[in-house]
């Protein structure tokens, strides 16, 4: 298991030979202070920082790798460990070892990755849901998309901002693999971490791209600031006078396109939007006009059209980390790591499907 050092790093006990020494050698090579290899220097961006080895005074023969705690900066970290590659055994594995690994997850070669576990914070219940490796091994080609999407669900809504940011980070790792022929990775994982608690951020109106160039209704915004929350809208109630009150769920990364006819009849019923900040328990209210005829039928699609589109680059603003971990089976090579590349591409496809659908 992983232990916490008092200085904020984590300690991973060195595995028995040859795995442990091989992982230590990998970290020593990548983080060598004299390293001038551009491939390895770039690789550091995708790994936890390495601070050498450590042994407890009471057990000097026990050796631990001292690594950056990637989860430390998060308040409610959501964590997922995904093993990448078509093979979870290395080229030197015995026939028995190969059979053992294949039998654990026969779909590894076809899917190219395996969810080893996840821990997801649910805002709605203020609790964590955990899944172990048995959950990942139960996923098939047909269910893997839904299985992974569970990691990005807050209990209120799907965190599409986190999915988008995760895709961008995995794509950067894929670019690195496409450009290197030095190393092949087996039974190595990607560690996904994102912030599960709802922390609103403020964005300027000047940064908002309107779907249509039309005047913003009076009273919609105060001082040009808007609280950013996740795209999740709950209708609270509809009063007799036609006033619809809606709560905008925590963490909105996207504002929706302004409806063409919103405010065409200002004297008609009013739409009031209430944004709640659970941290400070203060309420920010604003209003705009929308005609009753546009509220008839399903209210949610109409509500969505009142919001604004955020520029695409804000997808990166989600607090997400994706790091490569577990290097007990890394070997020198002179070819591209096609198995790992296959797994990364398949994982990106699944994440993109989650985002699109």
Domain encompassing residue 45: 1-69
Residue 340 lies in a domain: yes
Please report the pLDDT score of residue 199 as a whole number: 59
In this structure, the answer to whether residues 98 and 162 fall within a common structural domain is yes
Alpha carbon distances (Å) from 263 to 10, 217, 303: 56, 7, 13
Q: Over the stretch 36-92, which tens digit does the pLDDT of each residue have?
A: 999 999 999 999 999 999 999 999 999 999 999 999 999 999 999 999 999 999 999
Angle between helices 160-178 and 338-356 (to 10 degrees): 160
pLDDT band at 317 (very low <50, low <70, confident <90, very high): low
| Confidence grade of residue 331 (pLDDT, cut at 50, 70, 90) | very high
DSSP strand pairing (10-13 vs 50-54): unpaired
Residue 264: both structure tokens together: 């065409």
Last residue of a domain, one of 24, 41, 69: 69
Higher-scoring residue by pLDDT: 217, 350: 350
The whole-number pLDDT of residue 219 equals: 40
Q: What is the pLDDT of residue 149?
A: 98
Q: Is 46 found in the same domain as 131?
A: no
- Measured in whole angstroms, the distance separating CA 261 from the mean position of its chain's CA atoms is 36
Average per-residue pLDDT in the chain? 77
Strands 270-277 and 77-84: unpaired
Cβ count near 323 (within 10 Å)? 19
Place of tokens 């300690």: 11
Residues 98 and 60 in one domain: no
Residues 323 and 190 in one domain: yes
The answer to whether residue 284 is domain-embedded is no
pLDDT at position 198: 78
Phi-psi region of 347 (alpha: psi -120 to 50; beta: other; left: phi over 0): alpha
Q: Is residue 341 part of a domain?
A: yes
pLDDT at 288 over 80: no
In a domain, 137, yes or no: yes
CA–CA distance, 353 with 349 (Å, rounded to integer): 6
Same domain, 74 and 167: yes
**CB-CB contact of 203 with 310 (8 Å):** yes
C-alpha to C-alpha distance for 123 and 231, rounded to whole angstroms: 14
pLDDT tens string 139-165: 999 999 999 999 999 999 999 999 999
- Tell me the HSE value of 209 on the side-chain side, using a 13 A CA sphere: 8
DSSP 47-88: S--EEEEE--TT-TT--EEEE--TTTT-SSEEEEEEEESS-S
Length of the chain: 357
pLDDT of residue 258: 32
Q: Which residues pair with 226 in a beta bridge?
A: 203
Computed on alpha carbons and rounded to an integer, the radius of gyration of the chain in Å comes to 24
pLDDT digits (tens, 9 = 90+) for 169-223: 999 999 999 999 999 999 999 999 999 997 543 333 334 443 333 344 444 433 3
Among the candidates 52, 69, 86, a domain finishes at 69
What is the structure's pLDDT at 2?
86
Cα 276 from Cα 229, distance rounded (Å): 10
Please say if the pLDDT value at position 283 is more than 50.
no
- Positive or negative, the Cα torsion across 90, 92, 93, 98? positive
How far from chain centre, in Å, is Cα 242? 39
Over 80: is that where the pLDDT of 297 sits?
A: no
Considering the domain architecture, whether residues 97 and 83 belong to the same structural domain is answered as yes
Rounded distance, CA 252 to CA 284, Å? 15
Report which of residues 258 and 187 the model is more confident about.
Answer: 187
- For 9-37, write each residue's pLDDT tens digit: 999 999 999 999 999 999 999 999 999 99
Query: Among all chains, which residue has been given the structure tokens 């009753």?
Result: 292
- Strands 201-204 and 188-195 come out as unpaired
* Positive or negative torsion for Cα 196, 202, 206, 212: positive
The CATH number for 85's domain is 3.30.470.160
pLDDT surpassing 70 at residue 238: no
The predicted pLDDT at position 269 comes to 38
Q: Is residue 189 part of a domain?
A: yes
Q: In this predicted structure, what is the pLDDT of residue 357?
A: 87
Give the span between the Cα atoms of 52 and 64, in whole angstroms.
9
In percent, the amount of the chain with pLDDT more than 90 equals 65
Task: Indicate the residue among 69, 104, 126 that finishes a domain.
Answer: 69
Q: How far apart are CA 138 and CA 115, in angstroms?
A: 10
Count: domains in the chain: 2
Question: 241 lies in a domain?
Answer: no
pLDDT at 218: 40
**Backbone CA torsion sign across 225, 227, 230, 234:** negative
State the pTM of this model: 0.70
């Amino acid at each position: 298991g992983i232990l916490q050092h008092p200085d904020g790093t984590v300690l991973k006990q060195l595995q028995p030979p040859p795995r442990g020494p091989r992982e230590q050698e990998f970290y020593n090579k990548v983080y060598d202070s004299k390293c001038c290899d551009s491939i390895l220097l770039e690789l550091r961006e995708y790994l936890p920082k390495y601070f050498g080895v450590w042994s407890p005074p009471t057990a000097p023969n026990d050796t631990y790798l001292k690594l950056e705690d990637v989860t430390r900066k998060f308040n409610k970290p959501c964590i997922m460990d995904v093993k990448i590659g078509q093979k979870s055994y290395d080229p030197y594995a015995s026939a028995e070892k190969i059979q053992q690994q294949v039998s654990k997850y026969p779909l590894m070669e076809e899917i190219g990755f395996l969810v080893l576990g996840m821990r997801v914070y649910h805002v709605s219940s203020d609790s964590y849901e955990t899944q172990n490796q048995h959950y990942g091994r139960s996923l098939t080609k047909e269910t893997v998309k839904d299985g992974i999407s569970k990691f990005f669900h807050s209990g209120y809504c799907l965190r599409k901002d986190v999915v988008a940011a995760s895709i961008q980070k995995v794509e950067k790792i894929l670019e690195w693999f496409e450009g290197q022929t030095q190393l092949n990775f087996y039974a190595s994982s990607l560690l996904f971490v994102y912030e599960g608690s709802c922390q609103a951020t403020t964005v300027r109106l000047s940064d908002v791209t309107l779907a249509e160039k039309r005047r913003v209704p009076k009273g919609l915004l105060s001082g040009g600031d808007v609280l950013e929350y996740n795209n999740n809208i709950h209708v609270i109630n509809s009063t007799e006078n036609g006033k619809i009150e809606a709560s905008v769920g925590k963490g909105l990364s996207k504002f929706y396109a302004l409806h063409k006819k919103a405010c065409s009849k200002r004297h008609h019923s009013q739409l009031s939007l209430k944004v709640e900040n659970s941290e400070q328990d203060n309420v920010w209210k604003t209003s705009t006009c929308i005609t009753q005829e546009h509220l008839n039928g399903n209210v949610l699609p109409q509500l969505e059209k009142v919001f604004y589109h955020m520029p695409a680059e804000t997808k990166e603003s989600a607090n997400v980390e994706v790091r490569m971990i577990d290097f007990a089976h890394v070997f020198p090579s002179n070819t591209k790591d096609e198995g790992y590349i296959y797994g990364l591409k398949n994982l990106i496809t699944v994440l993109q499907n989650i985002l699109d659908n």
